């Protein structure tokens, strides 16, 4: 059975991109990364893609007058590369309703909180300030509202005494690197699907708890 072709959209260092690259190197993983696109020419993640032998492209949003023009260029590159699914991995551009609708059910993102809590930016600092005892990350479908699409999977981590934002971010990032490939695999295999505003699992996935985990110490 042919593997699904994935595009990963980045803006920075690409640590979650690397997790997806590592997962795709497993012959049993149902996807291959066909293209990496950055909206920032100097994004370090482009070097990761190059080292892995993956096609990479820069589409600088500053070169376009409107979001729609920028997204049209994105779509052209995705179509040329025959992409099936898109993974946002630290992609720091808000996508329009039109783009999200065109890729509905095939466009996913990872966010460093247990959504719907702490949407947006500066998440780790805000969690520390709020005094939460449980943090984590979420993989979700992208919708017209930022960080609000249907949830595919989550992983939880404790907020420990003495944590600062950087320490908490590092602990969450470890879980992100596990969660993102796991959720992508479920999506491609049809074990987690978008249905309205929810993501029902097949019975075997629901029973296994494959995309959630308890807090660890």
Instruction: Give the sheet arrangement for strand 31-38, strand by strand.
Output: 56-58, 31-38, 4-10, 85-88, 107-111, 134-141, 151-158
| CA distance from start to end of the chain | 40
SS3 147: coil
Among residues 34, 102, 104, the alpha carbon closest in space to that of 68 is found at 102
- Residue count (the chain): 217
Count of CB atoms situated within 10 Å of the CB of 80: 11
Which listed residue (111, 124, 140, 177) is catalytic?
Answer: 111
Count of CB atoms situated within 10 Å of the CB of 113: 21
Taking the C-alpha atoms of residue 93 and residue 165, their distance in angstroms, rounded to an integer, is 23
- Asked if 124 is an active-site residue, the reply is no
Residue with tokens 């719907």: 116
Which residues are the active-site residues? 111
């Amino acid at each position: 059975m042919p593997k699904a072709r994935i595009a990963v959209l980045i803006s920075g260092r690409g640590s979650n991109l690397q997790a997806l690259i590592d997962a795709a190197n497993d012959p049993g993983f149902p996807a291959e990364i066909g293209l990496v696109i950055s909206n920032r020419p100097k994004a370090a993640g482009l070097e990761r893609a190059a080292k892995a032998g993956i096609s990479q492209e820069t589409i600088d949003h500053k070169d376009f007058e409107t979001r729609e023009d920028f997204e049209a260029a994105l779509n052209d590159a995705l179509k040329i590369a025959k992409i099936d699914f898109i993974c946002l991995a630290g992609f720091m551009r808000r996508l329009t309703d039109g783009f999200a609708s065109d890729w509905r059910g095939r466009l996913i993102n990872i966010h460093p909180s247990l959504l719907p809590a702490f949407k947006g930016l500066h998440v780790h600092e805000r969690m520390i300030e709020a005094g939460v005892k449980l943090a984590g990350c979420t993989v979700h479908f992208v919708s017209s509202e930022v960080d609000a699409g249907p949830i595919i999977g989550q992983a939880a981590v404790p907020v420990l005494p003495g944590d600062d934002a950087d320490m908490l971010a590092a602990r969450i990032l470890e879980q992100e690197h596990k969660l993102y490939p796991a959720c992508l695999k479920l999506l491609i295999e049809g074990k987690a699907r978008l249905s309205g505003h929810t993501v029902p699992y097949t019975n075997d996935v629901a029973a296994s708890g494959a995309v959630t985990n308890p807090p660890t110490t």
